[in-house]
Amino acid sequence: MDFSSYKKIFINMKFDIKIWIIGVLFLTSGIFLYKWLASEDKSLKEENKRLLDQVNLIQLERDSLASERKLSKIRFDSIQNIINVEDLKIQKLNKDLEKSKFDLSVTKGDLDRERKKLDEINSQIKELKEHPIKREGGDLLKSLQKKLK
């Protein structure tokens, strides 16, 4: 064997040793990584449990608030319906009030006309009482005939 064959064996052996060293290092780092990932810290477990409890409490509160919101929506809708019905009643009453105001103004106008007529009649009566019409003869007969008809 010559020097080159020894060199090839040494290089192959060196290469094999490098591969073995890299493999062993890779395997040991893998084992340490697994142990580190697999072994959870107790404080982390407690923190995780505490956070899960908080999440559960928040979810319960969210659910109760959602149900309260639904109940409030139902109450609001029922109150809104009552308000709508009462608004319709108010609108009808307002229309009736306007009609009554119109009727009142018409009636007041009629009353004023009748009052004016009554005042005229009262003034005529007063005038006749103060200055009665004196009829004699044919005038008196015609007047009596008109009143008897």
* Domain map (residue ranges) of the chain: 1-39
Q: How much of the chain, in percent, has pLDDT values that exceed 90?
A: 55
More confident residue, 3 or 83: 83
More confident residue, 115 or 37: 115
For residue 70, what pLDDT is reported? 96
Q: Quick: pLDDT tens for 50-108.
A: 999 999 999 999 999 999 999 999 999 999 999 999 999 999 999 999 999 999 999 99
Q: Which residue is it, tokens 């103004």?
A: 105
State yes or no: pLDDT of 4 exceeds 70.
Answer: no
Those residues with Cβ within 8 angstroms of residue 135's Cβ, 6 or more apart along the chain or in another chain? 143
d(CA 37, CA 148): 132
Q: pTM of the predicted model, to two decimals?
A: 0.46
Per-residue CA distances from 34 to 28, 38, 71, 72 (Å): 10, 6, 52, 53
- The secondary structure of residue 137, as a DSSP letter, is T
Compute the average pLDDT of residues 118-144: 82
State yes or no: pLDDT of 21 exceeds 80.
Answer: yes
Those residues with Cβ within 8 angstroms of residue 143's Cβ, 6 or more apart along the chain or in another chain? 135
More confident residue, 85 or 42: 85
State the average pLDDT for the chain: 86
State yes or no: pLDDT of 13 exceeds 80.
Answer: no
For the chain, how far is it from start to end, CA to CA, in angstroms?
A: 175
For residue 119, what pLDDT is reported? 94
Q: Concatenate the DSSP letters of all residues of 2-71 into one string.
A: -HHHHHHHHHHHHHHHHHHHHHHHHHHHHHHHHHHHHS--HHHHHHHHHHHHHHHHHHHHHHHHHHHHHH
Closest of 149, 143, 138, 109 to residue 128, by C-alpha: 143
Compute the average pLDDT of residues 16-36: 85
State yes or no: pLDDT of 41 exceeds 80.
Answer: no
